[in-house]
Amino acid sequence: MRKLRLPLVLFVILLLLPAAALAKVGAPLVSTDWLQKNLENPRLVVLDVRKVEEYKAGHIPNAVNAFYGAWAVKRGELLNELPAIDELFDTIGGAGIDADSLVVVVGKTTTVPDQFDMTRVAWTLKYAGVANVAVLDGGQNKWVKDGKAVSTDAVRAKAKAYRGKINRGLFVNKDYVLKSLGKAVILDVRAPDFYEGKQKLPFVQKAGRIKGAVNLPVGQLFTPEGLYKDQAALAALATTAVGADKSREIIAYCDTGKTCTAWAFILTDMLGYENVKIYDGSAMEWLKDPDAPAEP
């Protein structure tokens, strides 16, 4: 038995290496090279959140498809809201994901709003109890640009009965934000003209920002090539905007609760901030309420 012990230990270590790699591979980001090397990991789920017709036209080998619209729904007038928990769990289980899966979310980066589909889905997975989640830096566009293999074979996921532990603190509502004014850092990630009240999107009732919010635009996350900047550069930007106290509560928002997930993901999983939340209603809800404190 002693002779078998060392090989058995080595086998277990080798089996677990991909899991350790995902947890440490500059999370929440993985490169196309890393993903290509880990495609055969049985615990890995490559989750393609593009439209089904885009998926069918060509996708990463073994990727499963679950369109973005299943992860962020319209509720009343508000866009990009959380689906009902049972529906969310059905979507997760239907994609073959369980609490121990290693999930890499893949979307497209063709337009500016597109690139935030990945982080919104990733943040929602974390909310639903899936801990090991990353996004593919540059998405499907980078995969194709790098000349990686593309498949047109539809992948049928092995459906699972998913029942995760909800991390309710990752999303907060308007009442929570109201009670947090003057205490938490309120982080507006929109472009400066929107933060300063010079511009607004058509579906946001008025221009302006939550009173007391600081600005850290999502555009600062990316290089000219559309990839995330390195950790040192992102840390410097974050410290300037929200400070160096990693334990202080940060509530991030944007127009609809989608783009702000990018900074939330980076702050939490790459930079080590411990108490980051998303205000899901964001400016769309806040600036519609005449009693909600706003400026300028």
> pLDDT by residue (tens digit) across 186-218?
999 999 999 999 999 999 999 999 999 999 999
* Per-residue pLDDT at 109: 96
* 155 within domain boundaries: no
* Per-residue pLDDT at 27: 64
> Do 178 and 216 belong to one domain?
yes
Q: Who wins on pLDDT, 3 or 167?
A: 167
List the domain range (segments joined by +) for residue 217: 168-295
Handedness of CA 35, 37, 40, 43 (dihedral sign): negative
* Per-residue pLDDT at 24: 42
Residue 101 token pair = 């899966």
> Do 28 and 124 belong to one domain?
yes
Instruction: In the chain, count H helices and then E strands.
Output: 11, 14
| CA–CA separation, 270 and 235 (whole Å) | 9
* 255 within domain boundaries: yes
* 23 within domain boundaries: yes
| CA–CA separation, 145 and 53 (whole Å) | 20
* Per-residue pLDDT at 7: 47
Over the range 156-168, which residues count as b (16 or more CB within 10 Å of their CB) and which as e? ebeebebebeeee
How does residue 78 score in pLDDT terms, banded at 50, 70 and 90? Answer: very high
> Do 87 and 181 belong to one domain?
no
Residues of the chain with pLDDT > 70, as a percent, come to: 91
Overall residue count recorded for the chain in this entry: 296
C-alpha separations of 168 from 96, 126, 173, 211 in Å: 23, 10, 11, 24
pLDDT in tens, 154-182: 899 999 999 999 999 999 999 999 999 99
C-alpha separations of 95 from 56, 101, 105, 159, 189 in Å: 16, 11, 12, 6, 30
pLDDT in tens, 98-111: 999 999 999 999 99
Mean pLDDT within 56-63? 98
* 163 within domain boundaries: no
How does residue 89 score in pLDDT terms, banded at 50, 70 and 90? Answer: very high
> Do 141 and 172 belong to one domain?
no
Contact 101, 129 (CB under 8 A): no
* 157 within domain boundaries: no
> Do 128 and 175 belong to one domain?
no
CATH label of the domain that carries residue 139:
3.40.250.10
pLDDT in tens, 262-278: 999 999 999 999 999 99
* Per-residue pLDDT at 71: 98
* 127 within domain boundaries: yes
> Do 140 and 172 belong to one domain?
no
Element (DSSP H or E) covering residue 236: helix 231-242
Distance of alpha carbon 122 from its chain centroid, rounded? Answer: 4
> Do 172 and 141 belong to one domain?
no
Give this prediction's pTM: 0.91
